[in-house]
Structure 1
Amino acid sequence: MNPIIIFKQTYLSNLFFQVLSGVVLTFLVGYFVPVAGALAEILFFGFVILFGIDLILLFSKKDPLTGNRLAPKRLSNGDNNTIRLQISNRYNFRVDTEIIDEIPHQFQIRNFNISSDFDANADQEFTYELRPTERGEYNFGNINVFVGTKIGFVRRKVSLPAEETVPVYPSFIQMRKFEMYAISNRLTDVGIKKIRRVGHTMEFDQIKEYVRGDDVRSINWKATARTNDLMVNQYQDERSQNVINVIDMGRVMKMPFEGLHLLDYAINTSLVISNIALIKDDKAGLVTFSNDDSVVVKPEKKRTHIQRIQEALYNLNTNFLESDYERLVISLRKHVNQRSLVLLYTNFETFSSMERQLPYLQRIAKDHLLVTIFFENTEMTKLLHEESKTIGQIYTKTIAEKFTFEKKQIVKALNQRGIQTILTPPKELSVNAINKYLELKARGLI
């Protein structure tokens, strides 16, 4: 129903004009048929009486509706966030409502509408979901409710003050999901591979009684002789190792995939990896680089350190310029003194673009265990699986195969130089990065 305004806060419905048109038509017929004229007068007076009753009922209360919006204190980027509206009807009769929430302009939602019936003096709660795709501040406006009686001639607009600003942070929902699985040792449920440990880590934990399944090579014979029970040495992952997320802020990270930019995928995964590293008692840090000043969060292992990383990630944005890898090398040598696992989030579309930066990547790999992470072009992958029927489609598919092959060549060239790589679709970035982190820890390479 599209209401039409006649004066402030009062709108005439389509039903009003339909009935009015019928009354006018009856008057026209009554000009030729006297009986119809008498009927038209009766309909007109009945129409006026109903219209007046409708107005009186709607404006019988000064504040007929109350309500508020329950939004999270911050929204999670790239995830569905639940928004709740609580509306109370103070009328002593049943009403029809259309609720229009003033959603932040970033979502570009122009058809938001919730229709509902309210019983007399009743409360209702409505929920809807928003999926932001950019970090920053999002401004909500008022909650507008168009309310009408069962007569349906008039709609009264009630604006409920609910203006608020909500920041959108990197995906803390994704971070909490992986944190929950990590704590409960159920990471395999979300695609994390179970890595078989090669040999022992170097950090001794404790001596405990042997149970079936323990490695017999870990039996401690001296402790066994003292206690007359079979005892084994228990080892744990080495701790306090540096895990540095390095994010390329150049224009190559502005490429969009499924609503989010590559930069946002990298930011969300950096938050997840940092949190997992802290759970594993490692130190998490952050370095960004472009062609100018960088952001550096030095590695620490306090659990509260994740808040500093999250705040740093919140303000990151690309400047659309070419990134300076030499500046990155200098920044790492200045701020990171200990050999670390460096997860470099960037993107190479061609082999030549990688070759230009290869000397700097090799210099980083001399001091740290470097993992270069870049992205599959999922649109190219779709083209490869489509049937080609025309010459133009064949040409396009050939170009797509060329770029896809170059990505594989980049992986091969980096691996030959001792640089670890992850080539991943954007949506699978978090899972693949965690798998690589756990694999490197299990192999004792960090």
Structure 2
Amino acid sequence: MLKFVKAIYFHQRFFVGIFAIATIFLFSYWIAFLYPIAWILAVLLSVFSLLDITVLFSRNAINANRQLPEKLSNSDLNTIYITLENKHAFKVSIEIIDELPIQFQKRDFLQKLQLSARQKDTVTYGVRPVERGEYIFGKLNIYVSTPLKLIKKRLIFNEDQEVKVYPSFIQMKQYDFLAIDNRLNHVGLKKIRRIGHTQEFEQIKEYVSGDDIRSINWKATAKHGDLMVNQYQDEKAQPVYSIIDIGRVMKMPFNGLSLLDYAVNSSLAFSNIALKKKDKVGMLTFSNEPGNLVAASSKKTHLNQLLESLYNIKTAFLDSDFGLLYAWVKRSIKHRSLLLIYTNFEHMNGLERQLPYLKALSQKHVVVVIFFENTEVEALINKNVEGLPKIAHQTIAEDFSFEKRLMVKKLQQNGIQSVLTRPEDLSVNTINKYLEIKARGLL
């Protein structure tokens, strides 16, 4: 009985009717002939309300189902589907209130539609998570009313559905498709001119117009009597590691995401491209203590292992220990590798404290330090300001921006590659740097 009572809700039309009847009863104190009219209207309202309840509760003629993806992609718009079916022999009005996970902080979800007799329909809406982890969707509340629109019946479906939010695999697939179609330049990826050739020999073939004359094999030419050239191919199966700083400097937010989330999304997209290039990819996280280490591999299934490792990493609240990173890399990564270090430096002093460890790493590996522009500072620099206080703030902002560019020069002087990028351009610029290093044969 209690469940039945809790499922009954009243439409606004019902309360309007009650108010109108009460008003007529009030005026019937002075106008006598309104009194029986008020009673007639009250009886009619009661009868129609009981009829509405009887029709709605006579049988369960509404089905609904919330369809969630197996996993959600962080920072991307993910589509949720709600399928509805009306088994009644008449048109019904539907109100949908979906209890979204607490991470979205949205409590005003409401969608309305009408379903004809025996009709099925699908409602879609999008969600954009900005945190990785487990998300729990609460009750799917469906409020059904007949054409009378006096009473609403509440139905509950799909209570407490759980889905995990992973790093942006949608972004990863986007770059994957573009790579297949050779349209990477549409999103800013550059074609890098190859200087010379790599050292991995493939075969000897006859010379054709356009071949590099420096590759002529004179011994084979003398033997065959025709010009023969050595043919080379890209070096494959080279180890590439994404090293992600999960210290406090990566907690800085930008457009709802932390710098760590941008780094995680970028490393996943980059690792997918590197696997397409037949290289080995691995991952390492560090802060003031060792984090996760996934050894480099070129297997196609290795991407799933990286995805699971990146799924639930979080930032720490202490400064990261680059000395610990150096010791850990020296002990764990024996072969010469490309190390992409995602971190952030806001001051030159911060870079200079870590520079000895970066130089030590660069003696055996190709090191690329990836850090971020402060977009708020850049926006302040480009503003037209007036007044001494605002001009002073702009001058300080210019000093900060100039210091970032000095960091790039400092790293170059010490033989360390670098990428200074806006957070939203991180994936494109990281892949560009990787392609450049491959083309120049630095690894």
Same-fold call, TM cutoff 0.5: yes
- For residue 306 of structure 1, give the secondary structure of its aligned residue in structure 2: helix
The alignment status of 1:426 with 2:392, answered yes or no, reads: no
Distance in 2 (CA, whole Å) between partners of 1:399 and 1:68 is 55
When residues 125 and 209 of structure 1 are mapped into structure 2, their CA distance, relative to the original with a 3 A threshold, is farther
What is the deviation of 1:391?
A: 2.6
Q: Which residue of 2 aligns with 1:77?
A: 74
Tell me by how many angstroms 1:177 deviates. 1.3
Give the aligned partner of residue 315 of structure 2. Answer: 318
Residues 282-361 of structure 1: matches in 2 within 5 Å? 282-361=279-358
Shift of 1:283: 0.9
Pair 1:417 & 2:419 matched: no
Deviation at 1:200, TM superposition (A): 1.5
How far did residue 45 of structure 1 move? Answer: 2.3
Whole-Å separation in 2 of the counterparts to 1:115 and 1:50: 23
Q: Which residue of 2 aligns with 1:140?
A: 137
2:40 pairs with one of 39, 42, 49: 42
- CA distance 1:389–1:237, shift in 2 (3 Å): same
- Which amino acid letter does the alignment assign opposite residue 348 of structure 1? F
How far is 1:390 from its partner?
2.9
- Classify the secondary structure of the residue corresponding to 1:445: coil
- Aligned partner letter, 2:57: F
> Where does residue 397 of structure 2 map in the other structure?
400
1:171 matched residue in structure 2: 168
Q: Deviation per CA, 1:10-29: give whole Å up to 9, x if none.
A: 11122111111111111222
Distance 2:208 2:162 in 1: 56
1:31 match: secondary structure: coil
Q: Equivalents in 2 of 1:21, 1:128: separation in Å?
A: 37
**AA matched with 2:62:** L
Distance 1:370 1:382 in 2: 30
| Runs of 5+ unmatched residues, structure 1 | none
Could you tell me whether the CA contact under 8 Å between 1:203 and 1:237 is conserved in 2?
yes
The one-letter amino acid paired with 1:32 is W
The 5 A counterparts of 1:12-31 are 12-31=10-29
Q: Per the alignment, do residues 112 and 207 of structure 1 end up closer, same or farther by CA in structure 2, a change over 3 Å counting? A: farther
Relative to 1, partners in 2 of residues 1:208 and 1:168: Cα closer, same or farther, differing over 3 Å? farther
Partner of 2:29, secondary structure, is helix
Q: Superposition RMSD on alpha carbons, in Å?
A: 2.3
Cα deviation, residue 219, structure 1: 6.6
Q: CA–CA distance in 2 between the matches of 1:11 and 1:233?
A: 82
Give the structure 2 partner of residue 197 of structure 1: 194
CA distance in 2: counterparts of 1:184 and 1:204, whole angstroms: 28
Alpha-carbon deviation of 1:220? 7.0
- How many residues of Structure 1 are paired with residues of Structure 2 in the alignment? 441
**In the TM superposition, what is the alpha-carbon distance from 1:307 to its structure 2 partner?**
1.5
Equivalent residues of 1:343, 1:373 under 8 A apart: yes
The alpha-carbon deviation at position 362 of structure 1 amounts to: 0.8
Contact 1:244 1:299 (C-alpha < 8 Å) held by counterparts? yes
Q: Corresponding residue for 1:386? A: 383
Aligned to 1:240: 237
1:91: how far off? 1.8
Partner residue in 2 for 1:254: 251
The question of whether the paired residues in 1 share the 8 Å contact of 2:66 and 2:158 is answered with no
Taking the aligned partners of 1:147 and 1:405, their CA distance within structure 2 comes to 62
> Which stretch shifts more, 307-316 or 36-45?
36-45
Between the aligned partners of 1:212 and 1:152, the Cα distance in structure 2 is 82
Per-residue CA deviation, residues 110-151 of structure 1 (Å, 9 max, x unaligned), is 111110001112111111111111111111122100111111
| Cα distance, 1:215 vs structure 2 | 5.0
- CA–CA distance in structure 1, aligned partners of residues 378 and 246 of structure 2: 25
- Structure 2: stretches of 5+ with no match in the other structure: none
Whether the 8 Å CA contact 1:58–1:156 is kept in 2: the answer is: yes
| Structure 1 residue 322, shift from structure 2 partner | 0.8
- Structure 1 distance, partners of 2:68, 2:217, is 57
Cα displacement string for residues 139-193 of structure 1 (whole angstroms, at most 9, x for unaligned residues):
1122100111111111111111343211111111111111222233322122100
Q: Find the aligned partners of 1:219 and 1:95 in 2 and give their Cα distance.
A: 80
Q: C-alpha displacement at 1:33, in angstroms?
A: 1.7
Cα distance in 2 for partners of 1:421, 1:249 equals: 19
What is aligned with 2:185?
A: 188
Post-superposition shift, 1:327?
A: 0.4
* 2-structure distance, mates of 1:435, 1:409: 21
State the secondary structure of the residue aligned to 2:33: helix
Partner of 2:124: 127
Encode CA deviations 1:356-414: one digit per residue, 9 max, x unaligned.
11111111111111110000001111111112123322222122111111101111111
Specify the code of the residue in structure 1 equivalent to 2:440: R
Per the normalisation by structure 2, the TM-score is 0.94
- Give me the TM-score of the superposition, normalised by structure 1: 0.93
Cα 1:179–1:205 shift into 2, 3 Å: farther
The answer to whether the Cα contact below 8 Å between 1:68 and 1:162 also exists between their aligned partners in 2 is no
Structure 1 residue 46: deviation in Å? Answer: 2.1
Identity %: 49
Q: Measure how far apart 1:106 and its partner are.
A: 0.6
Paired residue type of 1:262: L
Question: In 2 relative to 1, CA 228–24 (structure 1 residues): closer, same or farther, beyond 3 Å?
Answer: farther
Q: Partner of 1:343: helix, strand, or coil?
A: strand
Matched with 1:281 is: 278
- The corresponding residue for 1:88 is 85
Q: Is contact 2:99-2:107 (8 Å) kept?
A: no
**Distance across 1 between alignment mates of 2:124 and 2:210:** 50
Confirm or deny: 8 A CA contact 1:6 1:12 kept in the other structure.
Answer: no
Counterparts in 2 of 1:222 and 1:58: CA distance versus 1, 3 Å: farther
1:94 Cα offset (Å): 0.6
Distance in 1 of aligned mates of 2:138 and 2:205: 61
